[in-house]
Homo-oligomer: A and B are copies of this chain.
């Protein structure tokens, strides 16, 4: 792998656990061999990726001693240096080992909670060493199957305590990293705490160093609750909290599919890329997907490439959509720009609004209700751009 490789234009990143997934599912054994992290780094670099991300246990097997740990890390760093690949994000595995079966930060067992904090701290050091800018928290085991099993209010106290302790750790250590919570409604727990973008945003507001904490929303996770992912990302951006994003595909409300980005709800993917690009989101486009269990290793690398290809195609189509005069006119007809205009006049007082008879007393509701927005035509224009049909 030549070091002179030209720098990727796009910040496309992949988790070690994505292409490295061995395709063990609830009803089936692994269909692919384990991949060495170095092999993954090299292959993704060849495909033109910008970087990789990892859980501690992806890189360093659970229970490794310090010496083994260092060896794993050094090999990985060497591969990164050789390929120019970055590590913009890291995270902790707080879900595979049985010790986390009832949660990590919110396990009823206090010793497990302390262990979880220490496990994160240890990997935060490594994340810092590798130059990661974002540290993701997916609390997949923080939840319950039964409403009597967990006092959610108390669990949120512990979750907050954990986040405060960990931001405190970074402050003390001088680790310049931002935290990103990744919501999910269920699976593997019957119900997971902070199940959606909204719940996590609200939780963040209660934290000590809330400015350090944002979100890492995942396409499929919101869609597993039937929620509109584009709306969710828009709200996250509105709160200034889109720190990172997990792109993938999901086909409706069911188990977590982790398909290639765009292989799920394609129209939603189009509008998502449109939003990310027009909002100037500057972070990595992180593909948190799983190559289907039917694929061999060739299929794995093809699927990785497909994610990047999909993003680029959608970006191109979204740009053409925005540039189309007919689209702009349709947006104007639908009064979309008018929504940016404040409802009250600049400096208008409540007394003035009350005095404005045109706002209420003489307002002709029937007439105002008779107009058409032409949203269906606008949607048709969008789909035609998506299809390259204009």
Interface status of A83 (Cβ within 8 A of chain B): no
The list of the 5 closest CB pairs from A to B, nearest first, reads A296-B372, A198-B199, A388-B388, A198-B198, A98-B369
For window 42-61 of A, CB contacts with B under 8 Å fall at none
A227 CA to B194 CA in the complex, in Å?
A: 10
In the complex, the answer to whether B152 meets A238 with C-beta atoms within 8 Å is yes
Interface status of A131 (Cβ within 8 A of chain B): no
Sampled A-B contacts (13; CB under 8 Å) = A23-B98, A24-B24, A24-B26, A26-B187, A97-B369, A101-B294, A106-B339, A113-B343, A114-B363, A153-B234, A195-B231, A254-B254, A266-B267
Interface status of A228 (Cβ within 8 A of chain B): yes
Interface membership of chain A positions 360-390, coded 1 if the CB is closer than 8 angstroms to chain B and 0 otherwise = 1001011011111111111110111011110
In the complex, the answer to whether A253 meets B256 with C-beta atoms within 8 Å is no
Of the residues B27, B28, B378, B388, contact of A149 by C-beta under 8 Å = B378
A254 and B257 contact, Cβ closer than 8 Å, known pairs A144-B375, A350-B168: no
Query: Which of A2-10, A70-78, A84-92, A305-313 contacts the other chain?
Result: A305-313
**Residues of B contacting A224 with CB < 8 Å?**
226, 254
A360 and B119 contact, Cβ closer than 8 Å, known pairs A165-B350, A292-B375, A313-B384: yes
A313 CA to B31 CA in the complex, in Å?
A: 38
In the complex, the answer to whether A25 meets B383 with C-beta atoms within 8 Å is no
**Residues of B contacting A363 with CB < 8 Å?**
111, 114-115
Interface status of A127 (Cβ within 8 A of chain B): no
A158 and B253 contact, Cβ closer than 8 Å, known pairs A149-B334, A373-B295: no
Of the residues B29, B96, B187, B206, contact of A254 by C-beta under 8 Å = B187
**Residues of B contacting A279 with CB < 8 Å?**
153
Q: Can you tell how many copies of this chain the complex includes?
A: 4
Q: Which size bracket describes the interface of A in this complex?
A: 35 or more
Interface status of A180 (Cβ within 8 A of chain B): no
In the complex, the answer to whether B344 meets A161 with C-beta atoms within 8 Å is yes
Interface status of A130 (Cβ within 8 A of chain B): no
Interface status of A356 (Cβ within 8 A of chain B): yes
In the complex, the answer to whether A118 meets B302 with C-beta atoms within 8 Å is no
In the complex, the answer to whether B228 meets A226 with C-beta atoms within 8 Å is no
**Residues of B contacting A206 with CB < 8 Å?**
239
